[in-house]
Amino acid sequence: MRRKIVAGNWKMNGSKDLAQTLVGFVRSRIASLDNGVEVVIIPPAIYVGDVIGHAGDELSVGVQNVGQWGSGAYTGEISAEMAADQGCQYALIGHSERRQIFGETDTVVAEKVERVLAGGLYAVLCVGETLQDRDAGDAEAVVASQVRAGLATVAPDQWQRVIVAYEPVWAIGTGKTATAQDAQAMHASIRGVLSEMGAPADEISLLYGGSVKADNAAALFAEPDIDGGLIGGASLIAEDFVSICRSVPANI
């Protein structure tokens, strides 16, 4: 059965106090959940140590980005190995903000996926189309291209550490959300692409992200190919984030 995951991407938000209060609150509530969901906190890298200090065994921790190199003269970068050394289990790769603001290409994304997997972390590959792509009828083609390019170097024995997060760019931080039916259609398309690539598609967790909130999470997570969520703004509100985690059905 595929793993059920809800990951909170704090983006460039947070503080030592948030790491203590929010993570402590979430940890105390998650302990009582019986739906089998794995909860991941992904803070800015500077707060990873603080989050790990409060996460206990109930929560997993990730980083929002890593460099495509193992080490060297790359001021400001961190490596996948460094993240693992700090106790992280996950790394986001190819988030639309990294692609759009920092100019990350499919080639760079693929290099980062390769480094993350070599470093022993789970790679969460983010893919998604713009509103222009969707209006032009190119949404599935654009996302399929990102999946193929980003995961091109994955070895057969590494697929179990690959997760794909579908985040339509037009729904990130806008308050707009894909309907559950539209999200399911894209997730089914992604699973088809993974199968074509020779991956064990039915075993790979696919997450939805894009203005997921406590009041729409259940409908999204009820779809057969949506295995959880990558949560942005709502992950900074402890009660809302816990409610989203509770929305994951026991059997997806």
The second-level CATH assignment, the architecture, of 5-246 is Alpha-Beta Barrel (3.20)
Task: Let me know how long the chain is.
Answer: 252
The catalytic residue among 97, 140, 167, 223 is: 167
Share of the chain above pLDDT 90, in %: 91
- Model confidence pLDDT, tens digit, residues 58-100: 999 999 999 999 999 999 999 999 999 999 999 999 999 999 9
Contact 209, 235 (CB under 8 A): no
CB half-sphere exposure, 30, CA atoms < 13 A: 28
The single residue of 95, 114, 129, 140 carrying the catalytic annotation is 95
Sketch the domain layout of the chain as residue ranges: 5-246
Is 95 among the catalytic positions?
A: yes
Q: Is 114 a catalytic residue?
A: no
Where are the strands (E) in the chain, listed by range? 5-9, 38-42, 59-63, 90-93, 122-127, 162-166, 206-208, 228-231
pTM (2 d.p.): 0.96
- What pLDDT, in 10s, does the model give residues 231-246? 999 999 999 999 999 9
